[in-house]
């Protein structure tokens, strides 16, 4: 099994080009199932979750051509698409459930494996299913599969999500595009990736608009067209490298980003002492200053993202006092804390609250990655630890970070993949 070896205590300096967003690409790829037209998508990140989604679409019968760099594709979903998404492909990637909405919308039926539990929490799909049933879907869960049918096709409705959910908002926006009449979704997630999905769907011919805070209106249509679309930048990858720069006392230029989208992250990093200069498509982060302690909670966009919580925690271990992080999105997203403690951190977890002692000098260690963002937090800590750290189970990291060791090596890190 592959591992990462990091020899730490080097300042990172140089430019890092941010890849396309994984969390935008996944719903957009699923949404291609709505039409039989030719769709060209560029700026896909070369990460395992995208490979899995492409395998899932191929297993349904999509014709996919990848360019030589693999970051742009042409996809055609003919009339003969299958409506069965198997456990083997959905089990490794929760976003597999996003094919449910488009399959039901176009074909009136689907059998999709439940994604199951996940290390960071139970992560059910009840909100997706309840909302789809309001569009006329009847479903049963049999042996781990959702068997769903819309006998009279999907019919527009007014739906209020009981909780803000990124995936449920995406599934419903996609499904409602082909529903008869108008759908209004209330209490929607408004993550930038959802706006990217909506921009893609609109370019495809769908009729969608934001009409108020967390309200999305969709008028169904059958008139879809060929489309070319470029995926937005990965804001979590950008945030991770911004933290890496401040943490190592380095100076990184984070390129290919839209700073307006990550305003909250920029504000928080500035508040705790990072020196940040913003240009139109790049952000310069330097970290000579002292890191200040902070109290913070994660929340849906535009709040501080849960997907950057683990990385921020590493930074706060080196702050000048005690910090508190309140994880409001997932119930079990502090597994990195015990691994960081093995490196000398002093983090105490009480339910969804973590108390983080500052002024820590990380020591190198052999470590175990537990989920995608936890893995990268271990890489960050290892980058500051004097000596050799080994990170096991990096397949989690490969799900969402394109060429991480190459990008870090280019800016001065001593990091390599070993087996
Ligand atoms: C997406 C992101 C993930 C991010 C998360 C929150 C993708 C591919 N993944 O995940 O990186 O961490 O948003 O920003 O975009 N919930 C239910 N029932 C449901 C659906 C969700 O109880 O039917 C709960 C979840 O367990 C969680 C919360 O709602 O506690 C938010 O989850 P959700 O926003 O749906 O996250 P994902 O779409 O899975």
Q: Which of 182, 191, 125 is nearest to 159 (CA)?
A: 182
> Against a cut of 0.85, is the pTM above it?
yes
What digits encode the pLDDT tens for the residues 168-217? 999 999 999 999 999 999 999 999 999 999 999 999 999 999 988 899 99
pLDDT value at position 289?
A: 79
What digits encode the pLDDT tens for the residues 277-316? 999 999 999 987 799 999 999 999 999 999 999 999 999 9
What's the total number of domains in the chain? 2
Same domain, residue pair 250 and 172: no
- Indicate which atom in ligand 1 lies nearest the CA of residue 305: 14
Q: What is the CATH number of the domain that holds 280?
A: 3.65.10.10
- Of the three residues 230, 255, 289, the one that is the final residue of a domain is 230
Task: Assess contact for 3 and 390: CB atoms under 8 A.
Answer: yes
Same domain, residue pair 40 and 127: yes
Same domain, residue pair 306 and 341: yes
Give the position of tokens 């000398």. Answer: 344
Same domain, residue pair 201 and 240: no
The fraction of the chain above a pLDDT of 90, given in percent, is 90
What is the enclosing helix (H) or strand (E) of 169?
helix 166-176
Task: Assess contact for 388 and 416: CB atoms under 8 A.
Answer: no
In the residue annotation, 255 being an active-site residue is answered as no
Distances (CA, A) of 19 to 42, 121, 152, 243: 11, 27, 41, 17
Average pLDDT estimate for 370-390: 95
Task: Assess contact for 77 and 35: CB atoms under 8 A.
Answer: yes
Pocket test of ligand 1: the residue of 29, 99, 123 to mutate, having most ligand atoms within 8 Å of its CB, is 123
pLDDT value at position 120?
A: 61
Same domain, residue pair 83 and 168: yes
Which one of 118, 177, 206, 317 is the catalytic residue?
118
- What's the angle, vertex CA 43, arms to CA 299 and CA 15, rounded to 5? 80
Q: Is 188 in the pocket of ligand 1 (CB under 6 A)?
A: no
Q: CB neighbours (10 Å) of residue 257? A: 26
- Of the three residues 230, 245, 274, the one that is the final residue of a domain is 230
Determine phi and psi for 65, rounding to 5 degrees.
Answer: -115, 130
- Indicate which atom in ligand 1 lies nearest the CA of residue 330: 30
Residue 129 predicted with pLDDT over 90: yes
The fraction of the chain above a pLDDT of 70, given in percent, is 98
pLDDT value at position 332?
A: 83
- Where in the sequence is the domain holding 399, given as residue range(s)? 3-19+233-418
- Indicate which atom in ligand 1 lies nearest the CA of residue 95: 8
- Of the three residues 175, 209, 230, the one that is the final residue of a domain is 230
Same domain, residue pair 219 and 269: no
């Amino acid at each position: 099994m592959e591992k990462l070896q990091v020899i730490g205590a080097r300042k990172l300096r140089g430019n890092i080009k941010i890849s396309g967003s994984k969390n935008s690409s996944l719903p957009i790829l699923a949404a291609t199932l709505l039409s039989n037209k030719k769709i060209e998508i560029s700026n896909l990140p070369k990460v395992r979750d995208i490979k899995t989604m492409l395998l899932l679409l191929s297993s349904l019968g999509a014709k996919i051509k990848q360019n030589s760099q693999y970051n742009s594709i042409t996809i055609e979903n003919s009339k003969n698409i299958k409506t069965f998404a198997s456990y083997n492909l959905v089990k490794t990637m929760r976003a597999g459930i996003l094919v449910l909405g488009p399959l039901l919308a176009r074909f009136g039926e689907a059998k999709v494996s439940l994604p199951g539990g996940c290390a960071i929490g139970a992560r059910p799909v009840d909100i997706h299913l309840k909302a789809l049933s309001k569009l006329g879907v009847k479903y049963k869960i049999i042996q781990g599969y959702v068997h769903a049918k819309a006998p009279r096709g999907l019919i527009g409705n007014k739906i209020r999500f009981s909780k803000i959910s990124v995936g449920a908002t995406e599934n419903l926006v996609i499904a409602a595009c082909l529903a008869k009449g108008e759908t209004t979704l209330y209490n929607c997630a408004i993550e930038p990736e959802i706006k990217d999905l909506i921009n893609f769907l609109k370019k495809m011919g769908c009729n969608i608009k934001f009409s108020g805070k967390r309200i999305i209106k969709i008028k169904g249509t059958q008139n879809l067209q060929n489309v070319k679309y470029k995926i937005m930048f990965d804001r979590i990858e950008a945030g991770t490298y911004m933290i890496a720069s401040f943490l190592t006392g380095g100076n990184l230029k984070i390129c290919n980003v839209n700073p307006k989208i990550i305003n909250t992250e920029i504000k928080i990093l500035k508040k705790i002492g990072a020196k940040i200069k913003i240009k139109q498509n790049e952000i310069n982060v330097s970290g000579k200053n002292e890191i200040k302690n902070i109290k913070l909670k994660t929340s849906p966009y535009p709040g501080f993202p849960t997907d950057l919580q683990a990385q921020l925690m590493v930074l706060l271990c080196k702050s000048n006092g005690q910090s508190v992080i309140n994880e409001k999105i997932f119930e079990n997203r502090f597994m990195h804390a015990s691994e960081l403690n093995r490196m000398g951190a002093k983090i105490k977890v009480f339910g969804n609250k973590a108390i983080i002692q500052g002024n820590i000098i990380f020591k190198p260690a052999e470590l175990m990655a537990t989920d995608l963002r936890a893995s990268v937090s271990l890489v960050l800590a290892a980058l500051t630890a004097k000596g050799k750290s080994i990170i096991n189970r990096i397949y989690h990291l490969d799900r969402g970070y394109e060429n991480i060791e190459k990008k870090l090596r280019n800016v001065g890190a001593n990091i390599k993949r070993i087996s």
